[in-house]
Structure 1
Amino acid sequence: MKIFSGTFDVLEKGIQYSSQNQKMIANNIANVDTPNYKTQHASFSSFLKKETKTLQAHVTDHKHIQFSGGDRRKVTDGALASNYNHNGNNVDIDKEMALLAENQIFHSAVMDRLNGKFNSLKTVVRGGK
């Protein structure tokens, strides 16, 4: 019997995604002047695909579709072949800062939802008070 709903698992995965994305964006910003450095970004669809590999389908009919076990690829999108700088680097600092702000908003939203879930549990434990 599960004490908590699956929402906590989903929120945990969201926090893991935003953490990984934060590290990649910070790494891109740190390497803005590194010759021949190519940017990397976390892809949410790749992250979701990787995480759903562990799901098992409960098949009750022969028409149900099984989840495929496919490969476990990295959850990063490869760098583009473009060069923004004369040294072969393709880090666009303005784009990276915008992605950083977007990731911070996503992280804050997930954390707010997680706090809401814990506050609901607190209310239940206190008997609705």
Structure 2
Amino acid sequence: MLYNSLAFNAMKSGLDGLAIEQKMILHNLANYETPGFKSKSVTFDKVLHKEKEKGGGVGGSYRFQATIHTNDAVELRPDGNNVDSDVESMKLYENYVRTQYLYTKISGQFANMNYVLDQTAK
């Protein structure tokens, strides 16, 4: 069944991670003018790859935890804020493309399942 497949659960976990990443990017952009604000990032994908290397399962009931990091290394402005709107905008676009890719793959899985069901009903 599609809902129990490793591929479907991996794509769902990927979408969950991308949603968290998108919220963090939007949070950074919303605080672009906040003095002293430090940009934050999420490392969901790195955790996913580590688990795959260790042979851990991606599907089933396994849930990944997103790790949020604060970027303290660089101060771009005299007010202590280090949000670079150009960098954050590019991250947001990359997140959008990756999200659309996963939605397309999931939609294709459902289209295949509908096709099989239609052919079986004939």
* Shorter-chain TM band: 0.7 to 0.9
Contact kept? 2:37, 2:82, Cα under 8 Å: yes
Of residues 122, 125, 128, the one that matches 2:114 is 122
Contact kept? 1:50, 1:73, Cα under 8 Å: no
Partner of 2:94: 102
Contact kept? 2:31, 2:37, Cα under 8 Å: yes
Deviations 1:68-122 (A, max 9, x none): xxxx975223313210011100000000001100100000000000000000000
One-letter code aligned to 1:118: F
Structure 2 spans left out of the alignment, 5+ residues? 58-63
Of residues 81, 85, 102, the one that matches 1:93 is 85
Contact kept? 1:18, 1:103, Cα under 8 Å: yes
Larger Rg: 1
What SS does structure 2 have at the residue aligned with 1:84?
coil
What aligned pairs does 1:25-44 form with structure 2 within 5 A after superposition? 25-43=25-43, 44=45
What percentage of aligned pairs have identical amino acids? 29
Partner of 1:7: 7
What SS does structure 1 have at the residue aligned with 2:119?
coil
Cα deviation for residue 17 of structure 1 reads 1.1
Contact kept? 1:50, 1:75, Cα under 8 Å: no
TM-score (norm 2): 0.79
Structure 1 spans left out of the alignment, 5+ residues? 57-71
| Higher normalized helix content (fraction of residues) | 2
The 4+ residue runs of structure 1 with deviation greater than 4 A are 49-53
* Aligned-CA RMSD value: 2.4
